[in-house]
């Protein structure tokens, strides 16, 4: 991150020597931590004590890049991150999001400048900081030109409340429009072996414009791990129940892919999660995965992937087993897909 004079300085230690990656002028290491599932989306949240232990363990293990949003837990996740990591603010790169929040218990996309300013004010308070390192427009509001939404974040940069502008779930065309208003430092889109949508344009525009591609759900929402979710055992409010890839025959087919993938990882001497993360890291130094977890054991396993080496042949085989042609089902329901601006393969919705 930068000091008060704008000079680049290191934040914490990278997980492995020489592995540092960047968002703008911020050093973030090879992987960050997605904090969403500590408070949101995957059934019953962690207890405050469990969440705090995981965040502090991540910090101790060398994670510097922590990602949250106003939406997660309708403010609860920002409160959590601020309470636990606030005392360590000078050691971390802090990312949050605006433009999609909880209103009266419901998710609302609202990219109006006045809403973004108000959301930022609340985020600064909850995060217990005077500046957010990366502030994303969480979703494109179809009723508000992206230029107006990004312009509001740019004003926050000028005021010193935000260091870098980010976008989330945006297409290459929208990224270009936003970048023309203010330089975009990061694009956070879903990217993994089983979600290749960024390869339809977003990845290329990131490479061209020097934008970091922050990959959320890099482990396919738990599928590319040693213990993929058993749907019957998930809490009713787990968002995966509404995702076509996790339903019926589609999920059965995808679990068959997972078994082949897990066998390949075993032959390569690593876990499935590590192979999935190594594949993403191999896409380029501009790609920064942010796996999330509630388990300290899984946290350690994920971060250890930064030191795992597998052959190009294994990476190629991984991509042949799990890709946009072999995965069955779209990643979102029709209603949820209407909220995203990303390019999509025909079968991916």
For residues 150 and 187, the answer to whether their CB atoms sit within 8 Å is no
Clarify whether 72 is annotated catalytic.
Answer: yes
Rounded CA-CA distance 256/194 in Å is: 13
Cα angle value 172/178/180 (rounded, 5°): 105
Burial 242-262 (b: 16+ CB within 10 A, else e): ebbbbbeebbeebeebbeebb
Rounded CA-CA distance 217/277 in Å is: 10
Catalytic residue, from 72, 136, 191, 332: name it: 72
Rounded CA-CA distance 21/210 in Å is: 12
- Could you tell me how far CA 267 lies from the centroid of its own chain? 29
Q: Where are the beta strands (DSSP E) in 81-222?
A: 93-98, 100-103, 106-109, 132-137, 162-168, 184-190, 212-216
Nearest to 153 by CA among 173, 176, 133: 133
Orientation of helix 172-181 relative to helix 146-159, angle to 10°: 40
For residues 306 and 273, the answer to whether their CB atoms sit within 8 Å is no
For residues 233 and 222, the answer to whether their CB atoms sit within 8 Å is no
Within 10 A of 174 (CB to CB), how many other CB atoms are there?
21
Rounded CA-CA distance 288/316 in Å is: 20
Nearest to 176 by CA among 198, 142, 205: 205
Contacts of 49 (CB under 8 A, 6+ apart): none
Active site residues: 72
């Amino acid at each position: 991150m930068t000091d008060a004079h704008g000079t680049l300085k290191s934040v914490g230690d990278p997980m492995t020597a020489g592995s540092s990656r960047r968002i703008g002028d911020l050093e973030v290491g090879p992987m960050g931590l997605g904090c969403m599932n500590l408070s949101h989306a995957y059934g019953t949240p962690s207890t405050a004590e469990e969440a705090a232990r995981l965040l502090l363990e991540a910090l101790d293990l060398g994670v510097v890049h922590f990602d949250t949003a106003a939406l997660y837990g309708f403010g609860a996740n920002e409160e959590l991150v601020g309470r636990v990591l606030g005392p360590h603010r000078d050691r971390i790169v802090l990312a949050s999001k605006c433009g999609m929040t909880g209103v009266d218990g419901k998710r609302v996309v609202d990219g109006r400048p006045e809403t973004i300013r108000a959301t930022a004010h609340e985020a600064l308070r909850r995060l217990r900081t005077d500046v957010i390192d990366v502030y994303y427009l969480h979703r494109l509001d179809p009723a508000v030109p992206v230029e107006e939404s990004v312009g509001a974040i740019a004003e926050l940069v000028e005021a010193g409340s935000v260091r870098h502008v980010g976008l989330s779930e945006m297409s290459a065309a929208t990224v270009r429009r936003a970048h023309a208003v203010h330089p975009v430092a990061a694009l956070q889109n879903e990217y993994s072996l089983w979600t290749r949508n960024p390869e339809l344009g977003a990845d290329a525009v990131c490479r061209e414009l020097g934008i970091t591609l922050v990959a959320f759900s890099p482990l396919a929402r738990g599928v590319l791990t040693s213990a993929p979710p058993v749907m019957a055992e998930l809490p009713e409010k787990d968002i995966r129940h509404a995702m076509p890839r996790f339903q019926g025959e589609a999920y059965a087919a995808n679990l068959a892919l997972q078994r082949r993938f897990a066998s390949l990882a075993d032959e390569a001497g690593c876990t499935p999660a590590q192979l999935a993360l190594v594949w993403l890291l191999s896409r380029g130094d501009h790609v920064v995965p942010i796996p999330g977890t509630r388990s300290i054991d899984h946290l350690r396993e994920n971060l250890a992937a930064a030191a795992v080496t597998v052959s190009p042949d294994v990476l190629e085989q991984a991509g042949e087993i799990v890709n946009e042609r072999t995965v069955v089902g779209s990643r979102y329901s029709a209603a949820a897909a209407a909220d995203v601006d990303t390019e999509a393969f025909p079968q991916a919705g």
